[in-house]
Amino acid sequence: MSEVEVFYFVKLDMGAADSLSIRRHATLASIKQRGGEPILETKRVVDTSELDENGFLKEPPVPSV
């Protein structure tokens, strides 16, 4: 498997004319595809198997109670 960098990112909310911070890590390609800007300080290096089909880091499973 190979490694890839993922980042949190911000995206301009055209309706509110404000930026939204997205609280999921995504690849640079996925961020740019959605019109976002990466927050470089949030970089993580992960294995590509940890990404979903949209380039987002998969959410960890919620533990059952």
The domains of the chain are located at 3-48
Question: CA 41, 46, 52 angle in degrees (round to 5)?
Answer: 105
User: Per-residue pLDDT for 16 more than 80?
Assistant: no
Predicted structure pTM score: 0.79
Q: What's the whole-number mean pLDDT along residues 25-35? A: 94
What pLDDT is recorded for position 7?
96
Residue 36 bridge partners (DSSP): 11
**Please, which residues have CB within 8 angstroms of residue 34's CB and are 6 or more apart in sequence?**
9, 11, 26
Percent of the chain with pLDDT over 70: 82
